[in-house]
Amino acid sequence: MTTINGEVAPGFEPVREAFAANFTQHGDIGAAVCVYLHGRPVVDPWGGVADSETGRPWAQDTLQLVYSATKGATATAAHMLVERGMLDLDAPV
């Protein structure tokens, strides 16, 4: 059983359940996620191990490589700009 630490605001319990399922159903050994809504953290769980060789537990401040994770954030930001009329995807470059 993986220990899950951190806080989840009322109404966001399904996110914590999905996070826990990553360990029990999908083989994750350590992870963290933090979601802010209106400038406040509403989901901030972490759990498992940070180092499978030593068994060091995952902490709130454990560093993690994210590799290409910014592609999704960049696409989201671009589409938000389109929605606000600040970016035209069809404009010539």
54-79, pLDDT tens digit by residue? Answer: 999 999 999 988 888 889 999 999 99
For 10-62, the pLDDT digits (tens) are 999 999 999 999 999 999 999 999 999 999 999 999 999 999 999 999 999 99
Based on the residue annotation, tell me whether 68 is a catalytic residue of this protein.
yes
Q: Choose the catalytic residue: 26, 68, 72, 83.
A: 68
Q: Hey, what amino acid is at 59?
A: A
Q: Are strands 56-57 and 35-37 parallel, antiparallel or unpaired?
A: unpaired
Position 67 scores a pLDDT of 83
pLDDT for the residue numbered 14: 97
- Distance (Å, rounded) from C-alpha 91 to C-alpha 88? 5
Three-state SS sequence of 6-43? EEECCCCHHHHHHHHHHHHCCCCCEEECCEEECCEEEE
